[in-house]
Amino acid sequence: MSKYVYTFGGGKADADASQKNLLGGKGANLAEMNKIGLPVPAGFTLSTEVCIHYNDNDGGYPEGLEEQVLAGLKNTEEVMGAKFGDKENPLLLSCRSGARESMPGMMDTVLNIGLNDDTVAALIKQSGNEHFAWDSYRRFIQMYGDVVLGLKPESKNDPDHFEDILDKARESTGVEHEKDLTVDQLKQIVAEFKAVIKKHAGVEFPTDPMQQLWGCIGAVFGSWMNDRAIVYRRQYGIPHTWGTATNVQAMVFGNLGNDCATGVGLTRNCSDGTPGFCGDYLINAQGEDVVAGTRTPKRVEETFEQDDPAAYAELVEIGKKLENHYKDVQDIEFTVQKGKVWMLQTRNAKRTGFAAVRIAVDLVNEGLIDPKTALQKRRIPADDLNQLLQPIFDPAAKEAAQKDNRLLAKGINAGPGAASGQIVFHASDAEAQWNEDNDKQLILVRRETSPEDLRGMKVAKGILTAFGGASSHAALVSRQMGKTCVCGCDQLNINYEAGTVTVGDTVLKEGDWISVDGFTGEVFNGQIDTSASEVMEVLLGNLNAEDAPTYARYEQLMKWADEYRTLNVRANAEADDAEAAVALGAEGVGLCRTEHMFFDHLDEIREMIFSTKPEDRAKALAKLLPFQREDFTHLFKTLGDRPVTIRLLDPPLHEFLSKHHMHDDPTLGPKLAKEFGVSEEAVLRRVEELEETNPMLGHRGCRLGIVFPEITAMQSRAIFEAACGLKKEGINCYPEVMVPLAGFKTEFENQAKVIRETAAKVFEEQGVEVEYMVGTMIEIPRAALTADEIAEDAEFFSFGTNDLTQTALGMSRDDYKGFIGYYQENDIVPADPFQTVDQTGVGKLMKIGVEGGRSTRKDLKIGICGEHGGDPKSVFFCHEIGLNYVSCSPRRIPIARLAAAQAALDS
Ligand code: PEP
Ligand code: MG
């Protein structure tokens, strides 16, 4: 017969901490604590397999479970010296959930199981405390009614029969808390609670302890599938198939008098990582009182030593023993019953990014772990480094905003950080306001952003858009600039003409304050205080490293990460953000989107667009050449001897001139007509010619350079003239010229020819040569499938997973917002495919691309430069399939460095 029940108690256990999958975290650790000699009330754990069986079989249990539960119960009775249901010496039990990963508060718990009219009398005799016994009884009936019989109110509007009765009782005697009710009142409440159960659940409150126990076990297993738990699992990527274990354990009481207490504690502070035991406790209380918020708990580190010096000393010792044993900060639950300390739970504590870094580094310095262990992803999820790199909201100020109901809406958390500022709707206004006052805090609020908005985005503290997903223009530019961004916030109704943004009943005007949380996607009405990132202040030279303890630990951690990773990490950066990229550890530029450099020179680009003859186009392009050369020179200089991948012009030309631009600026049409000596109708005609029904699949990428080779020639010339110029100054640089959106080998060859011919010409003119490579983005499926052919000519590959996802999934990166939330909520996709590589589909194309490319060119250098390059899960995948580097927006570089180390250490 399979084993479903695992017992623990009296220093023995038939499981240990390694069996989390089967016993859940709580069960496995209760067993482990027994084994290392800590005081744990005896009990037994029903495994997660029982939960899976229960939920798959309509509440049925596997064969043999009943006998095993009875055996577990017998062992508990023997160790605790009491008997379940006994009228003289009753054992009371608790029944708690416990999954493989902790899901705090999501599932159910029942305490004081085994109480009925007989056992309550025995409990009075035994404890000599009538109040305690009746209070325990009423708590049990209430929990049983709520959890097992489903009377717990689901929303604010549902009646809470039990609490109503308690309220009335409190009111009638004018006391604040039920601990101050009289014994007679408690007896009366017990009777009324039983009547509530009969009336509202339609059954008698069960007096048989075994029936009570099975009811509770079923309720705990059933709570795995409650809505809260399902939503939580979805958010944290916990599979529904894991199931929870159920822990049945002897009750110990923290509410037997003033020599009793109960509490929760941490072996170190998990907000900032400061060493030292801390937590919350209450004298003369049961565990639920501490977490329920009905009484304000006291701080362990402040007053527990005075209240109970012996228990405090023992807890501190236990804390040390646990940290030494688990090699990590622990989150514990304890009860002191008549001076004796009991441990009810221990688990690795959840912590903020700040605390994670500090604790990992401190534990190495204390000799508890080595650097490899410190880097584990369960200790520091790479994404959590964000918290050290971005401004954050002052936690108290954010909490106050939540309490004041100032949360307005929620969108996609596209650019991490916290920003508070005055609303501005137009980029040009943002720029003008900022020029007047450089300290002005602005939030650019747009339906969506376009390249035209770039300058406004630069001066804004944060960006908020109503449309667009995780790889929309707003999202990727914000990330690259390191700006806080919330996009796709479709509850926003923006009226540019009226200068208002409406959310429900709230109407905000230009100049009103708004706050956006780019970590969570939350948007708040009004101002919330923020503080700057200490790490960034040091990296950007605004603060001394000696005055920055957080920076020192960050730096140490990054050193360790760099030692172990094998993937290189580059930045998606242009001139402006390249310095930050280098400061953050970029080992090169993996993607310089040259079109971003064009947006400062729209007049020249538009002149090119209006040119009908190649020679006119060349003339217009000649005006752009010096600007591009200067930009590249600056970029090469900043990167020094690191490689720089420059991608040739990619977006369709209507991104530089469209009806949208004409609409936003009514003077544009007449201005262009005058400038180019054509009629306004001719301007409009050209704008219409450029329009595309499906722009992402239209005349863009290398298709532009093929039809207009002058563009490729100008850009190549700018690159090589910049490189040669620097070489003459004694500065080496390594340009890698990248062709966008090639799908046919012939497309690549066509562009490579122009690039190489231009290089040869420039080298001859300049009298110097530089090393360079010509390669291609792999961003449409055909390129991945024919990578072996393309690699015959291409010297490197870079996966453009934004477009590769878009084209492989046939899912527009700008229009998927409308359904992706629904898809995720309904488990149709496991994650947003534009944030995390869809490994089974897009990932398969990537593997084919890598294998194909390297079958032709063994040492082909391959990277990724889509937004996924900074996503830890995708970084793991890139490591696994053998890429040479990932490239991501500058602020994600540390995250990618850490994720790359974790991937290397994991494999
Ligand atoms: C990509 O498609 O992944 C990419 C990096 O190019 P862009 O986002 O500029 O289209
Ligand atoms: Mg692309």
Residue 591, ligand 1, Cβ within 6 A: yes
User: Is 868 part of the annotated catalytic residue set?
Assistant: no
Q: What is the mean pLDDT of the chain?
A: 92
Distance 412 CA to ligand 2 centre (A): 21
List 278, 865, 878, 888, catalytic entry = 865
Q: Which residues pair with 245 in a beta bridge?
A: 98
Cβ neighbours for 584, distance < 8 A, ≥ 6 positions apart: 389, 539, 571, 890, 891, 893, 894
* Residue 32 vs residue 672, higher pLDDT: 32
Q: Which residues contact 781 (CB under 8 A, 6 or more apart)?
A: 804, 807, 808, 845
Q: How far is CA 132 from CA 123, 256, 264, in A?
A: 9, 6, 21
pLDDT at residue 894, as a whole number: 97
Which tokens hold the place of 45?
């754990």
Catalytic residue among 473, 596, 654, 661: 473
Mean pLDDT of 152-176: 86
Q: Ligand 1, closest atom to CA 802?
A: 3
What pLDDT was estimated at residue 58?
A: 92
Q: Which residues have a Cβ under 8 Å from the Cβ of 346 and sit 6 or more positions away?
A: 29, 33, 322, 326, 330, 331, 332, 333
The answer, yes or no, to whether any atom of ligand 1 lies below 6 A from the CB of 574, is no
Q: According to CATH, what is the number of the domain 565-650+702-906?
A: 3.20.20.60
Q: Which amino acid is at 638?
A: T
CA of 674 to the centre of ligand 1 (A): 35
Does 362 sit in the ligand 1 pocket, CB within 6 Å? no
pLDDT digits (tens, 9 = 90+) for 653-681: 998 888 888 887 888 889 888 888 888 89
Q: Which atom of ligand 1 is nearest to the CA of 593?
A: 9
Please tell me the distance between residue 514's alpha carbon and the centre of ligand 1 in angstroms: 31
Which position has the higher pLDDT, 109 or 416? 109
Say what the pLDDT of residue 291 is: 64
Please identify, by atom number, the ligand 1 atom nearest to the C-alpha of residue 868. 3
Confidence of residue 368 (pLDDT cuts 50, 70, 90): very high
Q: Tell me whether strands 261-268 and 275-283 are parallel, antiparallel or unpaired.
A: antiparallel
Distance from Cα 803 to the centre of ligand 1, integer Å: 6
Question: Residue 874, Cβ neighbours under 10 Å: how many?
Answer: 28
SS (H, E, C) 275-293: EEEEEEEEECCCHHHHHHC
Query: What confidence tens digit (pLDDT) does each residue in 497-546 have?
Result: 899 999 999 999 999 999 999 888 999 999 999 988 899 999 988 899 99
Does the pLDDT of residue 293 top 60, yes or no? no
The 10s digit of each residue's pLDDT in 541-561 is 889 999 889 999 999 999 999
* Residue position matching structure tokens 């949380």: 517
Residue 904 reports pLDDT greater than 60: yes
Q: Choose between 39 and 473: higher pLDDT.
A: 39
Total H helices, total E strands in the chain: 38, 34
CA-nearest residue for atom 8, ligand 1, is: 802
Residues 1 and 240: their CA atoms lie apart, in Å, by 26
State both tokens at 324: 């030494």
CATH architecture assigned to 5-250: 2-Layer Sandwich (3.30)
Domain positions in the chain:
5-250, 261-350, 390-531, 565-650+702-906, 653-691
Measured distance CA(425)–CA(442) in Å, rounded: 10
Hey, whose CA ends up nearest to atom 10 of ligand 1?
A: 803
Residue of 599, 803, 864 best suited for mutating to test ligand 1, as the one with most atoms within 8 Å of CB: 803
Token pair for 876: 């793991």
Does the Cβ of 801 fall within 6 Å of ligand 1? yes
Q: Report how far residue 497's alpha carbon sits from residue 406's, in angstroms, rounded to the nearest whole number.
A: 25
Average pLDDT of span 144-167: 89
In percent, the amount of the chain with pLDDT more than 70 equals 99
- Residue 655 beta carbon below 6 angstroms from any ligand 1 atom: no
Please give the C-alpha separations between residue 514 and each of 221, 423, 463, 510, in angstroms, as whole numbers.
44, 7, 11, 10
Q: Decide: 733 and 726 in contact? Cβ < 8 Å.
A: yes
For every residue of 314-348, DSSP letters joined together read HHHHHHHHHHHHHSS-EEEEEEEETTEEEEEEEEE
* Contact indicator for 130, 223 with CB cutoff of 8 Å: no
Q: What is the pLDDT of residue 796?
A: 98
Q: Do the Cβ atoms of 143 and 111 come closer than 8 Å?
A: yes
Confidence of residue 177 (pLDDT cuts 50, 70, 90): confident
Cα separation, 508 vs 512, whole angstroms: 6
Distance set, CA 162 to CA 193, 199, 200, 271, 639 (Å): 6, 12, 11, 36, 68
Nearest-CA neighbor of 797 among 859, 719, 871? 859
CA-nearest of 702, 807, 791, 806 to 755 is 702
Q: Are 754 and 716 in contact (CB under 8 A)?
A: yes
User: Which range scores top for mean pLDDT: 403-407, 576-580, 617-621, 760-764?
Assistant: 760-764
Nearest ligand to the CA atom of 814: 1
Question: Are residues 164 and 145 in contact, defined by beta-carbon separation less than 8 angstroms?
Answer: no
Q: What mean pLDDT comes out for the span 487-504? A: 92
The pLDDT score that the predictor gives to residue 292 is 62
Q: Which residue has the least CA distance to atom 1 on ligand 1?
A: 800
Alpha-carbon span 787 to 854, nearest angstrom: 9
Determine which of 197-211, 603-617, 860-874 has the lowest per-residue pLDDT on average: 603-617
* Mean pLDDT value of segment 778-799: 98
Q: How far is CA 630 from CA 311, 574, 625, in A?
A: 70, 12, 9
In CATH, 261-350 is 3.30.470.20: yes
Check residue 76 and give its pLDDT: 97
* Region of 299 on the Ramachandran plot (φ > 0 left; ψ -120 to 50 alpha; else beta): beta
Q: Range with the lowest mean pLDDT among 278-287, 361-370, 548-557?
A: 278-287
Q: For the domain covering 390-531, report its CATH number.
A: 3.50.30.10
| Closest ligand to Cα 572 | 1
Output the pLDDT for position 350: 83
Spatial CB neighbours of 158, under 8 Å, sequence gap ≥ 6: none
**pLDDT for residue 294:** 61
d(CA 376, CA 389): 20
pLDDT at position 514: 97
Q: How far apart are CA 102 and CA 20, in angstroms?
A: 11
Alpha helices in 791-883 (DSSP H): 801-809, 817-825, 842-856, 872-880
Q: Phi/psi of residue 869, each to 5°?
A: -60, -15
From first CA to last CA, the distance across the chain in angstroms is 36
The answer on pLDDT for 155 being more than 70 is yes
Model confidence at 410: pLDDT above 80 = yes
Pairwise pLDDT comparison (706 vs 427), residue with the higher score: 706
- Output the pLDDT for position 471: 65
Cβ-Cβ contacts under 8 Å for 426 (sequence gap 6 or more): 456, 496, 664
CA distances from 329 to 217, 277, 323, 608 (A): 30, 10, 6, 62
3-state secondary structure 738-788: EECCCCCHHHHHHHHHHHHHHHHHHHHHHCCCCCCEEEEEECCHHHHHCHH
Per-residue pLDDT reduced to its tens digit, 743-753? 999 999 999 99
Question: Over 80: is that where the pLDDT of 815 sits?
Answer: yes
Closest ligand 1 atom to 476 CA: 8
Residue 720, pLDDT > 90, answer yes
Nearest to 221 by CA among 144, 115, 112, 147: 147
CA 783 to ligand 1 centroid distance, Å: 14
pLDDT band at 351 (very low <50, low <70, confident <90, very high): confident
Residue 487 annotated among the catalytic residues of the structure? no
Kindly give the distance from the C-alpha atom of residue 471 to the centroid of ligand 2, in angstroms, as a whole number: 10
Token representation of residue 739: 């062709």
What was the pLDDT predicted at 53? 96
**Does the pLDDT at position 469 exceed 80?**
no
On the CB side of 640, CA atoms within 13 Å amount to: 7
Residue 488 clears pLDDT 60, i.e. is over it: yes
Strand (E) or helix (H) holding 569 = strand 568-572
Q: Give pLDDT, residue 178.
A: 76
339: left (phi over 0), alpha (psi -120 to 50) or beta: left
